[in-house]
Structure 1
Amino acid sequence: MAIQPSSANRSPFDKWKDGIDAAGRSPAQWNAWDSEIRRTVDEYNRHLSSTLGYHPLDWRWIKVIIWVETGAHSPAWTRQPMQIGNPGDPGLTSLLSGKEGGDRIVPPAWKGRLTVGSARSNPADNIRTGVGYLLMRMANFRMDTVVDPDSRIEKVTVTTLNNNLWNIAKNTGTTVKNLQSLNPSITPAQLKPRMELKYQKASEQRVIFGWKIISTSLIYRLYNANGTSEYIRKLNYVMRFTGP
């Protein structure tokens, strides 16, 4: 007859698994955040569906992350289930600052509503910002010209003081790429005073040009701040029950 190891001799990982197994036997607990996760992921999928190479996020990835990040036995389960916004965690400010592309990720209806304070106190907003940060890290960005959606095509006259594309772009509030796009037959060497060029208001912004393929190793590397490699073991264990 096999001798069962005492609880004192069991590893922290085995004890953690016991908690996951116990939760799995309680549907009300195990599925507690499913509806909120689904609503959040659906909103992101609608918003990002037109971006290059986007594959709809499977909501079950988020369920796996939540159960690894907190789990129903953690005090944070009812307030910060995705653990984004903890002291020392840069993820929340990275997303909401817009400097790393978060303004491209967060759906327009949530901009201004998702704040550092709401993400730390409202569990639904914690999930929304957590999913947003994960997607921001999964996106591939580059700088490109973005035309002001309300701008019209206008004309500017080349002068002796305004005689190169960089100066013209700077003085008209557009970009060199926009000038080249609207005036494809004109080269910099051909610019002469009194020549008219078309332009639109535009700026250089971070845009999405592709996406990484989500995996447990990428979640560990890009979402889990200051974590250990055991995080992947935990993700894989929870995926046995609910993963995509």
Structure 2
Amino acid sequence: MKALIVEDEQSIAKLIGVNLKAIGIDYDMANTGNDAISAIENNQYDLFVLDRMLPDLSGVQICQYIRNTKKLKSVGILFVTALTSSESIIEGLDAGADDYITKPFDIGILKARVSSLKRRVEGHRDSSPINNKNTYNHMGIKVDVDGVKTIIDDKEIKLTVSEFKILCVLISSPGKVFTRKQIVDLIKGENIYVTDRTVDTHVFALRKKLGSKSKVVETVRGIGYRVKSEE
């Protein structure tokens, strides 16, 4: 597995690189947005660690470029940046990032977040036939997308259309944070009326119905929701 670190502060780039190596990830480095685009065009990467503030293009622009490149649809993207406001974090996630940590960062947290992304990317590569059939089985929650069924402890629980779709979105990418806007964009459709404000209500009701598995759905304060990764 190979990563591209896009960071204009060399000391930070090297620190990130050393810790990626420690968990078995090779890497290249780019210190400008244009260098990053050139590297992307000429190499194959599985993970990207992006700074937000660069001398030319912004990290958000690079993130959008990656997500708009067909061959990179399933890569992992982590922002590591000094921008700490909720608005900045939401903007990064809305651009397509999987996760976001702020500077100064804890080395242990960096390695844990990158390891989580590494597992997701590897899982996407080696997706089993059951996942290809739109069926998920995560931490005791079974979701049959085609059959519109949710099963816990061998018992089917009844969800509304909106609750079911929110669960499908979250459980499809354990560990990935989804903003409220992303959830709305992913589940809206015919006869489904959901806004940023009502997502919280639907998630509250969903958790209630999940019962003993309610803690699998985690709140990321000020940003949105995710399904917990298996440890």
Higher helix share: 1
Q: Flag the structure with larger Rg.
A: 1
TM norm. shorter chain > 0.5: no
TM-score computed with the length of structure 2 as normaliser: 0.22
Higher strand share: 2
